[in-house]
Amino acid sequence: MNKVIFNIPNILTMLRVAAVPFFVWFLFQKELEYHIAALILFSVASLTDLIDGYLARKWNQETEFGKFLDPLADKIIVTGCFITFIFLQEQIEFWMVCLIIGRDMLITSLRYLAIRQGQSIRTTMLGKVKTVFQMGAIVLILVFLF
């Protein structure tokens, strides 16, 4: 396992997290151009989720930090989007977002505890499918509700 934290796959993951405030700011703007920018930014950030893991494996740059940060970055971007949608659209129910956030907090806490005990936990295929569906739902919301 590689111990270098600042490699290209991890930097892509960190950029995904860094995109969240810009995405949120774009959505709070009234002009359509900003909403299109939010859609593009979210789409690019979502694509980095596919690319970072692939590159880490291909270039033998997998790290424990990356294994923890990648799913956390997914949770941060998805949570940031859904919370923003609560404020912008009444079609997104508060309780639904609370369920998503609660589940993600539980999973992240369990992952953190496992790492503290020296265990390495990989994201399951079901978790990856869930993330794809969440990100797909966000893209649909961005396309059809704005």
What is the tally of structural domains in the chain?
A: 1
Domain range holding 108? 8-144
Higher pLDDT, 145 or 63: 63
Determine, yes or no, domain membership for 2. Answer: no
Please state the pTM of the whole predicted model: 0.84
In a domain, 93, yes or no: yes
User: Could you tell me if residue 69 is inside a domain?
Assistant: yes
- Say if 87 falls within a structural domain: yes
Decide if pLDDT at 1 tops 80. Answer: no
Tell me, yes or no, whether 70 lies in a domain: yes
- Non-local (6+) Cβ contacts of 34 within 8 A are 26, 27
3 within a domain of the structure (yes/no):
no
Whether 62 and 56 have beta carbons less than 8 Å apart is answered as yes
**Is residue 138 in a domain?**
yes
pLDDT tens digits for 78-106?
999 999 988 887 668 889 889 989 988 89
- Give the number of C-alpha atoms closer than 13 A to the C-alpha of residue 68, restricted to the C-beta side: 16
Mean pLDDT: which of 35-39, 59-63, 65-69, 108-112 is highest?
A: 35-39
